Chains A and B, each alone.
Chain A
Amino acid sequence: MLEGNLAEFPFPSLVGALMSAGRTGRLLVRPPHLEGEVYVQGGQVVHARVQAGEKVLEGEEALDLLAGLRRAPFRFEPETLPPHTTLLGGLAVPARLAEAQAAWQALSLPADWGYVLRLPSKEGAAELTPEALRVLAQVEGKRIAEVLVAPGVLRLARILHTLLQMGVLEAVPVVEVPPEHLLVLPIYGPGHGIAYVDEALYAAWARAIRHGFRLRVTPPGTTMEVRPRPNIPGRLGLLEEDLKRLRLRRGDKVEAVPEV
């Protein structure tokens, strides 16, 4: 059984290899929050399908979407036959894949399509086309994968790219880090709005989130910039000014949750 990751073996090359080897079977691609399958019969791509939740794409649109995946584990199951055909095979498939690949290369969407799209917290003005505005109205709070599984994949991807570039939309990872119960520790120094956590805890959060994050401190339910500091396990270092502002004092127990 052939298996690997698209990060090492890009999707168009993989499909091309299966076609030139004249293989029959099913290629399963499983990025987070998405399921993709491509059926090859005697070296001809005859069916492609992508599903995210209840939304399904089939045929060329599915191929367009799969061509945009930059990393995802894949597995080829030989001798599995397609339930039905949605593609005609032949040279149209590699041509379509090459076209899609070129289109995706011009875009800079996050590699992880599990990221959630949201409006930025900063206010600002921007001029948008009616189509971009319509997309913007529909995507907030949804994962990229979920948004892209819709007719007109490449067009949608271009609009998302534009919105992200303009800063009208931002893509952030969904953070599911359990809250930490920490004791407040005063840090004596100038400045404010910074919370310090132990280096090891910060590193663990950074590994889990892989994105810039802030810290929500409850009580009083405020969000602060977070920085690592050595030798303070179990503590949340707060500057004197913040202690006054938040009405906290040494030894108070607080709940700290990283937020993207």
Chain B
Amino acid sequence: MDILTLNEYLNRIVYGFPMKLVFLLVGAYLVIFQIRWFSAPFRMMRVSFSETFGALRERAYGFGGQITPFQATMVALSATVGTGHLLGMLAAVLLGGPGAVFWMWVGYFFGTGSKFAEATLAVHYRRRYADGSVSGGPMYYLSRGLPRLRFLGYLFAFFAAVAAFGIGNLSQAGAVGGALAPLGAPPALVGLGLALLVGVVLGGGIVRVARFAQVVVPLKLLLFLVAVLPLLVLYGGNLPEALALVFRAAFTPEAALGGAAGYSLFAALNAGLGRGIFANEAGLGSAAIAHAQAQVDHPVRQGFWGVTEMFVSFLVTSLTALTFIASGLWRQGGSAAEAAQALFQAHPLGGVILALTVAVFALGTMVSWGFYGEEAAAFLFGEGVRWPYRLTFAVLAFVGPLGGLEAFLAISDTLNGLMAIPNLLGLLLLGGVVGRLVYGFFRGEPWVPPR
């Protein structure tokens, strides 16, 4: 068995349906038994809003650290809200039909448990250094929280450090190059620009990455609204029908869609859960690296920011999906790229807005993943690896738009999926810690970091 065959085999496992069920079950366990959203749902909702949207006006005030909880969430959102929210979402509807959107929402709901737990544990087990900087993420909570299974932390760090080069860099740079090519931008020039930008931003450490994310995330959302709102207005009349179709096709797609394109319950479940899990990265553990940087007095506060990240991601994917379903173009089939072109033909700005949105979405993802990879590499090899990692990342950002390296991309995609295995195991085993932290938070107890 050669390495590519092995990679293909592993890829089928980590992105397969059983693995998606594992994601869902771990999320459900955390939501129901540890965080206990349902114990006092209205209070939970009130606190969640107070801790996040209620804290927006104090977004410039941290708790005396390097970056604020808001900025940490922006870094995480910058990575999360990527091309998967546009093209990936269209692909999911094309594969699973409108019912996939319902299952995506289910994935999002239980994903809040995983994301909340990741952000909380990331802050709880992070390392604080003498210069005031901090490092955290799954590699830290796995190695510090589960000392007998500390190899899980190293495994996660290895997967993340390599995956960041492929899925977080080459693939994103390729998406930027591909999006800008129709506008006449030469791939080499795009690559050079990306390499410079990524190098400069990553070179400034977490503070510069956070400042970049603070600008790029609102820009992403603005561009997304400019891209989607005219289409929503255009197809607004069909929205109630689209929404009804989502629910009808969720359980009996054959009956709801009249057997169109052979949509089945399994296809809807598989495609929907895939989006509901991988679009928001809940369970993968990547966003926890960003959340660990937030200066908060209690880890649970950052957990609520993790839920906000999910909420923003949920809005973007849902609006994309509903617009697409309302347009009726999903019935035509084809690839996600073709469907996107067809959808945006009706937009007053045409394909330009799609190209810009895809480019900015991919750019933000690149920078945040660069930081994730760097943190993972520093965990494995020490502080000295930061600059070599940044330079390698910048060089690959240049190569991305030029194409090639498909084998490496395929392997990094698998490694990206493999990140979930140690992380989900950690979330399951450390669920009790999350539960105790939540309990203590709602008893007004101060946070005591582990030694």
- Residues of A at the B interface (CB closer than 8 Å) are 183, 185-191, 229-235, 239, 249-251
B297/A185 in contact, CB under 8 A? yes
Q: A186-B50, A229-B297, A234-B63 are in contact. Are A251 and B444 (CB under 8 A)?
A: no
A183/B61 in contact, CB under 8 A? yes
Q: Which residue of the partner chain, among A183, A230, A233, A250, contacts B54 with CB atoms under 8 Å?
A: A250
Distance (whole angstroms) from the CB of A221 to the closest CB of chain B? 22
* Chain A residue contacts of B445, Cβ below 8 A: 189
> Bound state CA distance, A229 and B64, in angstroms?
14
* Chain A residue contacts of B442, Cβ below 8 A: 188-189
- Residues of B at the A interface (CB closer than 8 Å) are 47, 50-51, 54-55, 57-58, 61, 63-64, 296-298, 441-447
> Bound state CA distance, A36 and B451, in angstroms?
54
Residue of B with least CB distance to A234 = B61
Known: A189-B445, A250-B51. 5 other contacts (CB 8 A): A187-B444, A230-B297, A231-B63, A235-B63, A250-B58
* Chain B residue contacts of A249, Cβ below 8 A: 50, 54
B50/A250 in contact, CB under 8 A? yes
B297/A235 in contact, CB under 8 A? yes
> Bound state CA distance, A190 and B151, in angstroms?
41
* Chain B residue contacts of A188, Cβ below 8 A: 47, 441-442, 444
Q: Which residue of the partner chain, among B58, B64, B444, contacts A183 with CB atoms under 8 Å?
A: B58
> Bound state CA distance, A250 and B69, in angstroms?
14
Residue of A with least CB distance to B440 = A189
B447/A230 in contact, CB under 8 A? yes
* Chain A residue contacts of B446, Cβ below 8 A: 229-231
> Bound state CA distance, A185 and B297, in angstroms?
10
A-B pairs, top 5 by smallest CB distance, nearest first, are A189-B444, A231-B297, A233-B64, A251-B58, A232-B297
> Bound state CA distance, A189 and B446, in angstroms?
11
* Chain B residue contacts of A230, Cβ below 8 A: 297, 446-447
> Bound state CA distance, A22 and B237, in angstroms?
109
> Bound state CA distance, A234 and B61, in angstroms?
8
* Chain A residue contacts of B444, Cβ below 8 A: 187-191, 239
B64/A234 in contact, CB under 8 A? yes
* Chain A residue contacts of B443, Cβ below 8 A: 189-190
> Bound state CA distance, A184 and B111, in angstroms?
31
Residue of B with least CB distance to A227 = B446
* Chain A residue contacts of B55, Cβ below 8 A: 250-251
* Chain B residue contacts of A231, Cβ below 8 A: 63-64, 296-298, 446-447
Distance (whole angstroms) from the CB of B442 to the closest CB of chain A? 5
> Bound state CA distance, A188 and B445, in angstroms?
9
> Bound state CA distance, A185 and B296, in angstroms?
11
Q: List 8 A-B contacts (CB under 8 A).
A: A189-B445, A229-B297, A229-B446, A230-B297, A233-B63, A234-B64, A249-B54, A250-B58
> Bound state CA distance, A231 and B446, in angstroms?
9
Distance (whole angstroms) from the CB of B436 to the closest CB of chain A? 15
Distance (whole angstroms) from the CB of B56 to the closest CB of chain A? 8
> Bound state CA distance, A251 and B61, in angstroms?
9
Q: Which residue of the partner chain, among B51, B54, B63, contacts A232 with CB atoms under 8 Å?
A: B63
A251/B447 in contact, CB under 8 A? no
> Bound state CA distance, A171 and B139, in angstroms?
56
* Chain A residue contacts of B63, Cβ below 8 A: 231-235
> Bound state CA distance, A183 and B59, in angstroms?
12
Distance (whole angstroms) from the CB of B62 to the closest CB of chain A? 8
* Chain A residue contacts of B296, Cβ below 8 A: 231
Q: A190-B444, A229-B446, A230-B447 are in contact. Are A251 and B57 (CB under 8 A)?
A: yes
Distance (whole angstroms) from the CB of A218 to the closest CB of chain B? 19
Distance (whole angstroms) from the CB of A189 to the closest CB of chain B? 2
* Chain B residue contacts of A234, Cβ below 8 A: 61, 63-64
* Chain A residue contacts of B298, Cβ below 8 A: 231
* Chain B residue contacts of A183, Cβ below 8 A: 58, 61
* Chain B residue contacts of A232, Cβ below 8 A: 63, 297
Distance (whole angstroms) from the CB of A104 to the closest CB of chain B? 44
Residue of B with least CB distance to A200 = B64
> Bound state CA distance, A235 and B61, in angstroms?
10
Distance (whole angstroms) from the CB of A207 to the closest CB of chain B? 20
> Bound state CA distance, A229 and B442, in angstroms?
15
> Bound state CA distance, A239 and B57, in angstroms?
20
Most A C-beta atoms less than 10 A away, residue of B63, B444, B447? B444
> Bound state CA distance, A250 and B48, in angstroms?
12
Most A C-beta atoms less than 10 A away, residue of B61, B296, B297, B445? B297
* Chain B residue contacts of A233, Cβ below 8 A: 63-64
Residue of A with least CB distance to B56 = A251
Distance (whole angstroms) from the CB of B23 to the closest CB of chain A? 29
* Chain B residue contacts of A187, Cβ below 8 A: 444
Distance (whole angstroms) from the CB of A132 to the closest CB of chain B? 45
* Chain B residue contacts of A229, Cβ below 8 A: 297, 446
> Bound state CA distance, A251 and B57, in angstroms?
7
> Bound state CA distance, A186 and B55, in angstroms?
10
Distance (whole angstroms) from the CB of A88 to the closest CB of chain B? 65
